[in-house]
Amino acid sequence: MKPTVDKQINRRELFEGGLLLGVAAFIAGCAGTRQGTLPDPVWPTNKPIRPATPVATTTRPAQPTDYYGLPSGVLPRSQWTNQGIIKGRLTDNGSDGKMGKVLRITIHHDAIDSSGVSTKGDAIHRLNQVRNGHVNRRNEPFADIGYHFIIDPAGRIWEGRSLTLQGAHVKGQNENNLGVMVMGHFDRQRPTAAAVQSLDQFVASQMHRYGIPLSRVKTHQEMAPTECPGRNLQRYMLATRARGGNLARA
Ligand SMILES: [Zn+2]
């Protein structure tokens, strides 16, 4: 007998249903959800997949592998001067002037009001002013700017004297001593929020880098009879090193 219309439809449905199942299985195989027996297709246009662009993270930037390498974010000396070191003056204290291991950190100010220091150009002018003052001292002129790093009121950090060399910032105690100066006269003004934030972050990073304990992070007046770094920065340094302070928690 001739099949009924219903049966014809049913057959067509069965056929179409089987075709769909086959397509589904093929797609599933391509998607890699089932292990097929055939090798993956190789297309002549296949190209290596480029790695994704690295995503910026909030983790601490990696320190340079070189022991004295310039930390990331620090503006190099070449941005503010092309003057070299006066090498004949590097033999302070009878040493060879080399830094050796970095074992301690001392904080200073330059005792010059920094209210007018805002732009990079302002900071460059001040850095040269400080260096000129140091190399032209009447008594025992320095070989170069005395500090290894300088922080300006905007929080920028500048490279001063190369860290491969001892600084000239605590008379008779420059061996193994990393000198950081914050621009300003902190008996007369307060350090900016940007400056002390940079100071905390930078000092913490150097403590970690060189394994320096908090007890070896001092201010100039804690090592010698001087007003440096001024009462307002001194007060800040006491707070940041006290229990719960930024450096104490670093
Ligand atoms: Zn000082």
Q: How far is the CA of 235 from the centre of ligand 1 (A)?
A: 15
Q: How far is the CA of 217 from the centre of ligand 1 (A)?
A: 13
Q: Which residue has the tokens 């600084």?
A: 167
pTM over 0.85: no
Q: How far is the CA of 148 from the centre of ligand 1 (A)?
A: 12
Q: How far is the CA of 157 from the centre of ligand 1 (A)?
A: 17
Q: How far is the CA of 17 from the centre of ligand 1 (A)?
A: 87
- Who surrounds ion ligand 1 at CB < 5 A? 108, 220, 228
CB count in 10 Å sphere of residue 148: 26
Edge-to-edge strands of the sheet including 149-151?
74-75, 157-159, 149-151, 177-182, 104-109, 217-219
Q: How far is the CA of 191 from the centre of ligand 1 (A)?
A: 15
Q: How far is the CA of 42 from the centre of ligand 1 (A)?
A: 69
CATH annotation of 11-33+74-80+97-241: 3.40.80.10
Crossing angle of the two packed helices 193-210 and 231-241, in degrees rounded to 10: 50
**Rounded Cα–Cα distance for residues 103 and 146 (Å):** 17
Per-residue pLDDT of the chain (250 residues; tens, 9 = 90+): 444 445 454 555 444 444 444 444 444 433 433 444 555 555 555 555 555 555 544 455 566 779 999 999 999 999 999 999 988 888 655 567 899 999 999 999 999 999 999 999 999 999 999 999 999 999 989 999 999 999 999 999 999 999 999 999 999 999 999 999 999 999 999 999 999 999 999 999 999 999 999 999 999 999 999 999 999 999 999 999 999 999 999 8
Residues 78-107 as b or e (16 or more Cβ within 10 Å = b): eebeeeebeeeebebeeeebebeebebbbb
Q: How far is the CA of 121 from the centre of ligand 1 (A)?
A: 24
Burial of 150 (0-12, 13-18, 19+ CB in 10 A): buried
